[in-house]
Structure 1
Amino acid sequence: MDTATAPTRRAARPRADALRNRERIVAAAREMFVEYGPDVPLDEVARRAGVGNATVYRHFADRDELVRHVVRYVTGRVADLAEQGIATADADKDAAFTALRTFVHAAADERIGALCPMLQSGFDPDHPDLIDARERMERSIEGLVDRARAAGQLRTDIALGDLMIALSQLGRPLPGTPCPNMDRFVHRHLQLFLDGLMAPARSELPGEAATLEDLRQR
């Protein structure tokens, strides 16, 4: 056959079983990073995922690549939740703060705070694999916060960074800590925090509102 007239071959799509294995590996890694931190042996991740070691390395060249995919997975799910909240707030402006409250509790269940130990020295938060996911997450959460503020239901002296700090601090215990029963108090204390965000404010906050730029400073 003349190569000039040969049909263009499409790139082979991953098989369904390969995609399922990849999803299981990322889900297992997320669970174990939450429980033990990002230095957990990859052999243990493979065992939790129910696949062989070779399967892990077939999908992810090294630990850094797996960590990046876990971070992207979690940020994507949190962005989905924030966008659902925006849709709720747009449909009913009186429900803007309720949508924000629902989002915060759901985001805590995604263990977004467990990403913090991963974002240490040696990890590149500006890797091309992560930029779009991070920007989408930040944009969607900020949109939800803006709607609650515009509805007059959110105090005016806080910024997105304040919300992210609370999620990161209250939405985990630290991996490997001997406090397994702390999880049952997370939503209780998140509710206390959220009550403090409601307008009208009952006190004057010390210092300045925390922005995303503040959180990115090293």
Structure 2
Amino acid sequence: MQTAHPAPRKAPRPRADALRNRERIVTAAREMFVEFGPEVPLDEIARRAGVGNATLYRNFPDRDALVREVVCSVIDRTAEAAEAALTETGDAFEALSRFVHTAADERINALCPMMSSTFDQHHPDLVAARERVERHVAALMERAGAAGQLRPDVGVGDLMVAVAQLSRPPAGAACLHVDRFVHRHLQLFLDGLRAPARSDLPGTTTTLEDLRQA
């Protein structure tokens, strides 16, 4: 007669207040990383989040873990904005434009300096988030191209580089003063993406693989 083994216990679900604390920490970290740069003390992040130091370290044992969570959360929101744009049934180029402006507001590129040599850029969570947003952006551009609204000599890499450069003032308090210029310059860039093209671009179309190898 075989001995019955007890069913494996399920891991307890996080309590609602624990989830709220984690969300508050990530929100506070994103704000302070953008305002003050990557070396802002974790104790200050905990203070802004309204939690104790122990709560912060229980959720994020080190700075890299917190930075990865912040970056992934911003990329996820950017992907959600691209998904929402893909559901729009109106003008394809206008949907792409709205996505670009929304992506700029996430300020993901102000966080890029924190991806230091110790930051695991190949972490599965980060890779999955990045692939998701890249896939949706490619679909947005393909739809605008099929409608004859997007010039044919640009690729997803071109779009990503331009958005990064135009919406990435250096992290720090002073960067908040130039936010009013970001959407103005993004719109100038978007106007240059419209078909028919008014000039020949130097070089070749930039792909995502080009960016990864850069």
TM class by shorter-chain length? over 0.9
Cα distance in 2, alignment partners of residues 32 and 177 from structure 1: 9
The CA deviation at 1:159 is 0.7
1:37-93 residue CA offsets vs partner (Å, 9 max, x unmatched): 2222111111111111111100011111111111110110000000111111xx34x
The CA deviation at 1:8 is 4.2
Cα distance in 1, alignment partners of residues 86 and 50 from structure 2: 37
Which residue, out of 110, 124, 127, partners 1:131?
127
Cα distance in 1, alignment partners of residues 57 and 175 from structure 2: 32
- Counterpart of 1:211 in structure 2 is 207
What count of residue pairs does the alignment treat as equivalent? 213
The CA deviation at 1:13 is 0.4
Could you tell me which amino acid in structure 2 is paired with residue 133 of structure 1?
A: A
> Are 1:181 and 2:177 matched, yes or no?
yes
- Counterpart of 2:139 in structure 1 is 143
Cα distance in 1, alignment partners of residues 174 and 110 from structure 2: 16
The CA deviation at 1:33 is 1.4
Cα distance in 2, alignment partners of residues 177 and 16 from structure 1: 33
Comparing 13-22 with 133-142, which one deviates more in the overlay?
133-142
- Counterpart of 1:62 in structure 2 is 62
Unaligned runs of 5+ in 1: none
Cα distance in 2, alignment partners of residues 149 and 177 from structure 1: 39
Cα distance in 2, alignment partners of residues 69 and 199 from structure 1: 38
Which residue, out of 164, 167, 171, partners 2:163?
167
Distance 1:128 1:171, change over 3 A: same
The answer as to whether partners of 1:112 and 1:167 remain within 8 angstroms in 2 is: no
Could you tell me which amino acid in structure 1 is paired with residue 98 of structure 2?
A: T
Quote the RMSD (CA, aligned, Å). Answer: 1.7
Unaligned runs of 5+ in 2: none
Please give the residue correspondences for 1:1-218 in structure 2 after superposition, counting only pairs within 5 Å: 4=4, 6-88=6-88, 91-92=89-90, 95-176=91-172, 178-218=174-214
Cα distance in 2, alignment partners of residues 131 and 171 from structure 1: 22
Cα distance in 2, alignment partners of residues 208 and 189 from structure 1: 23
The CA deviation at 1:129 is 2.1
The share of aligned pairs that are identical, in percent, is: 67
Normalised by the length of structure 1, the TM-score is 0.92
* 3-state SS of 2:192 partner: helix
Normalised by the length of structure 2, the TM-score is 0.93
Comparing 74-83 with 160-169, which one deviates more in the overlay?
160-169
The CA deviation at 1:189 is 0.7
Cα distance in 2, alignment partners of residues 213 and 5 from structure 1: 50
